[in-house]
Amino acid sequence: MAVAKVTIKKGREKPIRNRHPWIFSGAVSIAANAVDGRLVTVVDHKDRFLARGYWNSKSQIQVRVLTWEDETIDDAWWQRMLGRAWQSRAQNHAGAELSANRACRIVNAENDYMPGLVLDRYGNRVVLQAQTLFVDRHKEKIADILHSDFDAEQVFERSDIDLRRQEGLHPAVGALVGGPPPDRLLLNEGALYHVDIVRGHKTGFYLDQRRNRQKLHELVQASASASDGPPSLLNLFSYSGGFAIAAQRDSDLRAVNVDSSRAALELAEKNFALNEYDKPSSDACAEHIQADGFDYLRYCVGEGARFDYVVLDPPKFAQHKRQIARAARGYKDLNLSAFRLVKEGGYMMTFSCSGAVSRDLFQKIVFAALADSGRQAQIVEQLSAAPDHPVALTFPEGEYLKGLLLRVY
Ligand code: SAH
């Protein structure tokens, strides 16, 4: 079947030549035979080849680019691209993550040049997320390749993110290869975690925070002798307790997990029980509080509470550039209260996972919150997603997770 042609307006081809993978409706001049969810060849106003990608007229991003070479997108292409992503995880940083009870992101969508496709591996299971119509149409093939070429025993689909609605798609959850996953599976990151692939957030777990959980663990260990009595952690937007569980490894730290989701806190409680065996003393404990994060912070400030560590990992506040101002107010409010709660010489880990909020802007917002709080803080480290979530250099939007490790005085 011939591939339809999309012609770009004169003067709008530069980002495409610079290998940005998104082409917005405003840049397209003619798209005569383009069919939603099918391949298109992108050319400039002089009919010169620019890229090949896929089309969806329903989305603001009408073309997502698969390649800037004039090559065929067929099964062999998928095998090659999936192989490349798989190999990079196996060879680099996350090699150990590919063994049983370990988890790792295998394909990070646009950042691995497979826009709209996320693959997370939990042991020998792979969880697939098809974010766009084109990927949705190819998901069975992708699952078959994962099974036949990469020994994935099961491929389970968690295509239930909001983005699909903009593509005209309904949520899809279910087994693509093999049976359904077990109700709960165990993940080993040093600490142990229950992961709920079927109902949990994302593909079951926040794999992107792995390195930062580890950092918090190391920080607590390093500071252990300095503090008198068991240290304390306020883990805001805790989900299944990830940061608290890591911080409590080999420590008698007291944690308070706060989340609006009852199901998330139930998982956090189970995770605490799962790891109780390696606590040095019975001081270690965890409270699980179902509350709005903003309200709970204000309550703590009112009570004059103080913690050695505060982690702030809120959900995405800005879905689009239009929502940046509102998101900035939200981040500032949270960080202002959080600064007031950190003990003298304590630490704060603060994050934004909004792709539309740049690292630079986030740092400015945190700075503004600090100024209002009357405290002092040093940046000890810039934080980002774990290295199995690489960011394509030509796709700044791919750097969605940014954070700061701060020492507060
Ligand atoms: N820190 C977690 C991930 C947090 S994701 C980890 O490392 O695993 C954001 C969390 O915020 C989700 O668990 C969601 O349930 C929760 N959440 C969303 N809105 C909230 C609100 N207004 N108050 C409290 N929690 C909220």
**Cβ pair 22, 52 in contact under 8 A:** no
398 and 264 inside one domain? yes
CA–CA distance, 145 with 294 (Å, rounded to integer):
45
CATH number at residue 169: 3.30.750.80
Quick one: DSSP state of residue 189?
A: E
Band of residue 294 on the pLDDT scale cut at 50, 70, 90: very high
Cα-Cα-Cα-Cα dihedral sign, residues 74, 75, 76, 81: positive
Report residue 316 CA to chain centroid gap: 10
Identify the residue whose tokens are 């204000």: 298
Query: What does the mean pLDDT of the chain come to?
Result: 94
Pick from 366, 300, 364: nearest CA to 333: 366
367 and 225 inside one domain? yes
What is the number of the ligand 1 atom nearest to the C-alpha of 292?
Answer: 23
Phi, psi of 325, rounded to the nearest 5 degrees: -65, -45
CATH number at residue 45: 2.30.130.10
For 223-275, the pLDDT digits (tens) are 976 557 899 999 999 999 999 999 999 999 999 999 999 999 999 999 999 99
Quick one: DSSP state of residue 208?
A: G
Pick from 361, 257, 363, 265: nearest CA to 310: 257
Angle, alpha carbons 109-113-115 (nearest 5°): 45
CA-nearest residue for atom 16, ligand 1, is 237
Report residue 199 CA to chain centroid gap: 17
120 and 54 inside one domain? no
Q: Which residues contact 286 (CB under 8 A, 6 or more apart)?
A: 241, 244, 248, 254, 255, 256, 257, 268, 269, 272
Tell me how far the alpha carbon of residue 260 lies from the centroid of ligand 1, in angstroms. 7
* 88-97, 322-331, 341-350: least confident range: 88-97
Residue range of the domain that includes 264: 203-408
Flag whether 280 is in a domain: yes
**Cβ pair 238, 259 in contact under 8 A:** yes
Flag whether 265 is in a domain: yes
CA-nearest residue for atom 10, ligand 1, is 237
376 and 280 inside one domain? yes
**Which of 259, 294, 333, 354 has most ligand 1 atoms within 8 Å of CB, for mutation?**
259
230 and 322 inside one domain? yes
Band of residue 128 on the pLDDT scale cut at 50, 70, 90: very high
Flag whether 306 is in a domain: yes
Burial class of residue 321 (count of CB atoms within 10 Å of its CB; 0-12, 13-18, 19+): exposed
User: Which of the residues are catalytic?
Assistant: 353
Residue finishing a domain among 48, 67, 86: 67
Pocket, ligand 1, Cβ cutoff 6 A: 201, 206, 209, 237-240, 242-243, 259-261, 264, 292-293, 313, 315
Count of domains for the chain:
3
For 16-62, the pLDDT digits (tens) are 999 999 999 999 999 989 999 999 999 999 999 999 999 999 999 99
Assigned token pair, 127:
């969880």
Flag whether 194 is in a domain: no
pLDDT surpassing 70 at residue 210: yes
CA–CA distance, 17 with 8 (Å, rounded to integer):
12
Residue finishing a domain among 37, 67, 97: 67
For 6-24, the pLDDT digits (tens) are 999 999 999 999 999 999 9
Looking at residue 94, its pLDDT comes to 52
What is the number of the ligand 1 atom nearest to the C-alpha of 235?
Answer: 1
340 and 383 inside one domain? yes
Tell me how far the alpha carbon of residue 279 lies from the centroid of ligand 1, in angstroms. 26
pLDDT surpassing 80 at residue 93: no
Pick from 87, 84, 78, 83: nearest CA to 140: 78
Predicted TM-score (pTM) of the model is 0.94
Tell me how far the alpha carbon of residue 293 lies from the centroid of ligand 1, in angstroms. 8
pLDDT surpassing 90 at residue 183: no
